Structure 1
Amino acid sequence: MDWDEKPELNITPLVDIMLVLLAILMVTTPTVIYKEQILLPQGTKKTKVGNDKKIEVRMDINRNIYVDKDVYTLSNFPDNLNLLANRYDKSSSVYIRADKNLQYQDVIFLLKSIKEAGFSKVSLVTTN
């Protein structure tokens, strides 16, 4: 027997256990949900239906543009739209319906003209 040997504490199992407990804690902590009792004010059950004005712009295969009952050509549409835009609220929704056989650049020109007139809610309408 060697009396000069110093006993050492083996802490490897202790570290392993602590790492496992830390991993369990990290996994379970995000799933804990805290509930707060909040009393919300009572509201009315009536819903206010907004009559948002929408503008429908249609373009046929001959590049004629229809807004309500007015008819424009593609070349004079941007100028006429600036005059027409004064009748509508700029936050109105604008829906563009274009023939599927039109050139892409014509539809983009129409979209760009409407955006430049100040309308921000512009959508392209498609079927199924």
Structure 2
Amino acid sequence: MAFGTLSDDSDEVMSEINMTPLVDVMLVLLIIFMITVPVISHQVKLDLPRAVNQPQELKPAHISLSIDASGQRFWDGKPVDDATLDANLAEAAKKDPQPELHLAADREVRYESVAQTMAAAQRAGLAKIGFVTDPKQQ
């Protein structure tokens, strides 16, 4: 608050802000922070391990499984029967990293054959199945 002098005869209110108490409070706060900050920032020395960031170039192999119009299955271009297909899928599921199964089916094949092939891959434990399409054919 701003006060006038006693010798002042006018009844006017002073509209000035006395900055001295504000500066005093700010200086006290500054001193308090200067004293407490070094105490708060206590650091512990740790010997952390170093890590190197190198991109992995290891891509899993893919398996090409195709089904022709008659429902015959081909494993990487070689015809396979159901028992051989199940054995090959189980062997591929055990690999680490697991290969991707690329499934290409003829346009005229019955969906039942495709569904059975997908179910066999799922039973074997293959997690990545992709469908191969040819956008040029209409």
The TM tier, using the shorter chain, reads: 0.5 to 0.7
Could you give the per-residue CA deviations for residues 95-114 of structure 1, whole angstroms, max 9, x where no partner exists? 10000111111111111111
**Cα distance change of structure 1 residues 86 and 103 upon mapping to structure 2, 3 Å threshold:** closer
The count of aligned residue pairs is 83
SS in 2 for 1:82: helix
Of residues 86, 89, 101, the one that matches 1:85 is: 89
Could you give the per-residue CA deviations for residues 15-50 of structure 1, whole angstroms, max 9, x where no partner exists? xxxxxxxxxxxxxxxxxxxxxxxxxx9965x53322
CA RMSD, 1 decimal: 2.4
Offset, 1:69? 4.3
**Cα distance change of structure 1 residues 70 and 127 upon mapping to structure 2, 3 Å threshold:** closer
SS in 2 for 1:119: coil
Q: Does 1:52 align with 2:56?
A: no
Q: Does 1:121 align with 2:125?
A: no
Q: TM-score, normalised by structure 1?
A: 0.54
Offset, 1:127? 2.5
Larger radius of gyration: 2
SS in 2 for 1:83: helix
SS in 1 for 2:117: helix
Amino acid at match of 1:48: Q
Offset, 1:94? 0.5
- Once residues 89 and 115 of structure 2 are traced to their aligned partners in structure 1, the CA distance between those partners, rounded to angstroms, is 19
